[in-house]
Structure 1
Amino acid sequence: MAKPIRLSNGKCWKTQGAALEHFRKMLARYGDNCLVDDHDDHADLIALIERYDTVESDGPPKMGVGISRFERRLNRGAGFTSPGFWILRTDGSITDFSYVSAVRGVPKTLSEEFYDACRNAIGPELLATKQRYFKEFSDVEGRLPCDLTDMPLIYSEAELSHAVPSFGKIVADFKASQGWDASIPLGVLTQSADAQISTSFIDPAISAAFRTFHHARAVLRIVATKRDPNGPPLKTTLVRRPIILQ
């Protein structure tokens, strides 16, 4: 049976999915850098932060000394941007938070944090590679064929995807190569902090080691960010051209 999601302000949803949809729609109602000025939305986010702070016990509480207001801002990470809610506290400090993590009520495991650190280590290179391939290989209309369906894609419709091995497999193999398959030592990953969008490796040498490990194994392809279920069938070939990370 689905467990209802209850907040301290009395709001309740029958399922986790319904609560996530509520906050997804809330985020979509606001533009980037806009204040969350609806009273009910503000109250829901305050209650959600209270829930978040009971879940994420390994970092500083997001509530801090007190919350003045919320804004929608763009989170900028290693090779990605995504909208999210940000907290502006009464002492002038700011931080981001994940409404998804708050609703789900389960903090990320160390393995998930390690995966994020690996993704951040190669994020800028993946972005630069995608930009380079569209510049070098796209047609006069700026399109590249999807390596899985042959459908022409413009830059915003495409992403670099790992074929075989998967990115998760590469991450697992790297962890094992470091002798960390049983546990990840303290001091390897950054700890939770204000305005830290995602986990990274503390030591740049580990980031460099993962990039080298990844370069030797990754097989990348251009695919559609969102696949049309009524579109052409998937092909069996992995990639149309070698995609080289530089």
Structure 2
Amino acid sequence: MGKAQPVELPSIHFPTKTKAKEFFKEMLNRYKDGEEVNQDDHVLLHELLLRHPDASDKIGVGVKRFFRGQSPDHPTSCFHVEREDGKSTDFSYPECISSVKPTLEQYFYRACRQSVSEILTIKKNNLFDNGPVRCCKTNEVVTKENSEFRHTTPPFGKIVNYFKKELNRPINTEMFHEDADLQYITRFSDKEIESKFIEFHQKIANLDIFKKFER
């Protein structure tokens, strides 16, 4: 019997690929054809799409929104992405989940995330040093342990896309430290790019405290 393979997204962990498929199947079934997904599901779908073998082609100039719809090539409904240029394409969530080797888009996203992770941890800790903190969605008092410091508007995926446009450079493997396949932590080898992203993120990112698993 093979060893269970976890699926790691920046915002959520699944112990097995089966659990991940169940989660996104349930998400798809919550929507009707033509209906746009909400902001929280948008974040998760963007992170999932980065695992697609053709992520660069699917994302194109950047993701505008996700919606459920039908395609001529498929008898059942599936997730679609509408890009910033107005063009749309469908994608298979099982194909994203089954992907093993990270794509360049995924490496870039992860490296951006890693660039600001320590900064965001410090900011979160500072919030809790000043007294009780409440979930911005439920208004419940939360602790460091049962809360998350998450991006609101724009979502982190859009921040990364905006940065790629400003950077205006093709993504290649030389931008990142060499690492093993399936390694989750990815860092920029180019410190100039890392510094530029930190500065860019600081200018436009908005974050708030959420109770864990509250979406």
Q: Is the contact between residue 102 and residue 181 of structure 2 (CA under 8 Å) also seen in structure 1?
A: no
* Residues 1-246 of structure 1 mapped to structure 2, 5 A cutoff: 11=2, 20=17, 104-136=98-130, 138-139=131-132, 144-180=133-169, 183-193=170-180, 197-227=184-214
The residue type paired with residue 129 of structure 1 is K
Query: Once the 2 structures are TM-superposed, how far is the Cα of residue 106 of structure 1 from its aligned partner?
Result: 2.7
Q: Distance in 2 between matches of 1:19 and 1:160?
A: 25
Q: TM-score, length-normalised on structure 1? A: 0.47
**1:165-197 alpha-carbon deviations (Å, 9 max, x no partner):** 0000000111111113xx303421122249965
List gaps (5 residues or longer) in structure 2: 8-13, 20-96
Q: Distance in 2 between matches of 1:148 and 1:122?
A: 24
* SS, match of residue 128 in structure 1: helix
Query: Once the 2 structures are TM-superposed, how far is the Cα of residue 227 of structure 1 from its aligned partner?
Result: 2.1
Q: Distance in 2 between matches of 1:177 and 1:131?
A: 31
* SS, match of residue 156 in structure 1: coil
The residue type paired with residue 178 of structure 1 is L
Higher helix share: 2
Q: Is the contact between residue 150 and residue 210 of structure 2 (CA under 8 Å) also seen in structure 1?
A: yes
Tell me the percent identity.
28
Shift in CA distance, 104/184, structure 1 to aligned 2, threshold 3 Å: same
**1:45-98 alpha-carbon deviations (Å, 9 max, x no partner):** xxxxxxxxxxxxxxxxxxxxxxxxxxxxxxxxxxxxxxxxxxxxxxxxxxxxxx
Shift in CA distance, 127/19, structure 1 to aligned 2, threshold 3 Å: closer
Larger-Rg structure: 1
Query: Once the 2 structures are TM-superposed, how far is the Cα of residue 130 of structure 1 from its aligned partner?
Result: 0.4
Q: Distance in 2 between matches of 1:159 and 1:227?
A: 9
RMSD: 3.1
Aligned length, in residue pairs: 130
Shift in CA distance, 207/149, structure 1 to aligned 2, threshold 3 Å: same
List gaps (5 residues or longer) in structure 1: 1-9, 23-102, 229-246
Q: TM-score, length-normalised on structure 2? A: 0.53
